[in-house]
Structure 1
Amino acid sequence: MLRHVCKGKLHRITVTQADLNYMGSITLDPLLMKAADIRPHEMVQITNLQNGTIWHTYAIPGTEGAGTVCLNGPPARHFQPGDTIIVLSTAWISDEEWDSLEAKVVFVDEQNHIQSIVRHHPWPPEYSLDAPQEN
């Protein structure tokens, strides 16, 4: 069985640009992409906290260290500079990969510079499905 999981999250980042005339995608600072385990041309889900819009597109790298978050093409109609968004990077994983999953949540400041990265494992050891069960 495969499970659809969140493997990386850019939490409450700020849109810096919107370019309606570009052919599509979201341009992200490569430092943000690396921190959230997002690779170039990987599909991501973007949620706008101002208007509730959810969009799926692919990520492309911008200038490293610039804090760039630019929605390109049609999503530029729904995501404007100053909007706060969440970017999720997902994957399909097998049950065998479950225990080695390390989802990363990236927290930033107002300029989209990384402040901290929190790593989550799917089950704390005490909740392991292989742990002895109390009766």
Structure 2
Amino acid sequence: MQEIMLKSKIHMAKVTDKSINYMGSIGIDTELLEKAGMKPYELVLVADVNNGQRFVTYIIPEEKGSKKIVINGAAARLVEQGDRVIIMAFGMYDSNEYKGPKVIIMNEKNEIVEIKQEGV
């Protein structure tokens, strides 16, 4: 039986910008996407640590090395620039193939502090 499990997570990234007048999505530095194993246009769940809001959107790539985390469209009403967010991607796995999520831990400058492969 396949189950939906956490594939990867960017933990405590800082929102660098937001744009309500955009068709939707979250822009993420391409370098972070590569390190986290996330892909452009992948579905993600975003949790705002500052206010508790959660929303589902999809990823668009931002310039590699830019350290940008940009919330676009209607979701931009749920966050403020400077808020810390957790960005989670999920996958479908057979119980015996799931090895746990890859976790990218960020600091307040959107620099990677640690990369962990959590086991189950």
Check conservation: 2:48, 2:86, Cα contact below 8 A.
Answer: yes
- Work out which of the two has the higher radius of gyration on C-alpha atoms and give 1 or 2: 1
Cα deviation for residue 102 of structure 1 reads: 4.4
Unaligned runs of 5+ in 1: 123-135
| Consecutive aligned runs of 4 or more in structure 1 exceeding 6 Å deviation | none
Q: Give the number of equivalent residue pairs.
A: 120
% of aligned pairs identical? Answer: 32
TM-score normalized by the length of structure 1: 0.85
Check conservation: 2:47, 2:85, Cα contact below 8 A.
Answer: yes
Which residue number in structure 1 is paired with residue 15 of structure 2?
Answer: 15
Which residue number in structure 2 is paired with residue 55 of structure 1?
Answer: 55
* CA root-mean-square deviation: 1.1
Higher share of residues assigned strand: 2
Check conservation: 2:6, 2:100, Cα contact below 8 A.
Answer: no
Which residue number in structure 2 is paired with residue 114 of structure 1?
Answer: 112
TM-score normalized by the length of structure 2: 0.95
Unaligned runs of 5+ in 2: none
| C-alpha separation in 2, matches of 1:53 and 1:108 | 19
Cα deviation for residue 50 of structure 1 reads: 1.2
Greater relative CO, 1 or 2 (CA 8 Å, sep 6+)? 2
